[in-house]
Amino acid sequence: MARKTTYRKTYSRKPAGRSFLSRLFRGLLLIFFGLLFIGIIYHYRKGLAYYLGFKTEKVLDEDAVDKHLSDVRNIRVLENHKGKVIGIDVSEFQGKVDWEEVEILDEKYPVQFVFIRATAGNDRVDRQFKRNWEGAKENKIMRGAYHYYRPNENSIEQADLFIKTVKLQKGDLPPVLDIERLPKNQPLDSLKKGLKRWLNKVEKHYQVRPIIYSGERYYSDFLKEEFSEYLFWIANYNFYREKIEDDWLFWQFTEKASLPGIKHRVDVNIYNGDLEQLHFITVE
């Protein structure tokens, strides 16, 4: 009779050193993320303190906290640019603005200029332009007008519409060309020629060189080199960016600010200089 053979299952043990290293690595990882979180809170402490009521002694409900948390970075940016001039830009998307109330941003930063959308493409006048244009003037806020450029429409017709709509006066800011989109059915060279035709016609009419508005990536990829003789107003809302670049005239750093007199969220901009320097670039 054959003897039954039994097999004993054996288990391999992990080396004690490897288990220790794994625990050590996990511990260090937790410490790293904990310190990173604390660092972020510390970095934005002024904005958090402001909006959670520690400095203002305001009691905010849950909805108000949620509404303003996106502005924590805004406070940080504004604190980094003391001495610079703060302004906004508006269009019909902000609804009817109560210009008598548009005065102070976050109870601390005076609004000293505004860019107002006047026209878009070759046939569109902003529904609130006239009201905004007159309201800013009456309330002594330095004003400027901008045109939203449509790449697939005739550039001269777009310039004519802007000139017909906007009557600049002494003390107004230079006209602005807002270009954000690429053409659908034409090469990039044709777009650039159209932009230059718009810029040249508007400059000839107002006797002042226009400013170009665009996003940072669009500016870097398509405009920076070929339009280097122009001053730029750049949009960048990235969380990591907290300082204006030296070669930017204006920086639109957020599109989600709250301001008395404006029901909807609004864009906020920083001028790369003081108030005296801003007056220097206005229409004479």
Q: Which residues are catalytic?
A: 89, 180
Cβ neighbors of 58 (< 8 A, separation 6 or more) are none
Task: In whole angstroms, give the CA distance from residue 220 to residue 223.
Answer: 6
Question: Alpha-carbon torsion 160, 165, 167, 173, what sign?
Answer: negative
Burial class (CB in 10 A: 0-12, 13-18, 19+), 28: exposed
Cβ neighbors of 135 (< 8 A, separation 6 or more) are 97, 99
Burial class (CB in 10 A: 0-12, 13-18, 19+), 15: exposed
Phi, then psi, of 133 in degrees rounded to 5: -60, -45
Angle, CA of 201, 129 and 209, to the nearest 5°: 25
Task: In whole angstroms, give the CA distance from residue 158 to residue 149.
Answer: 7
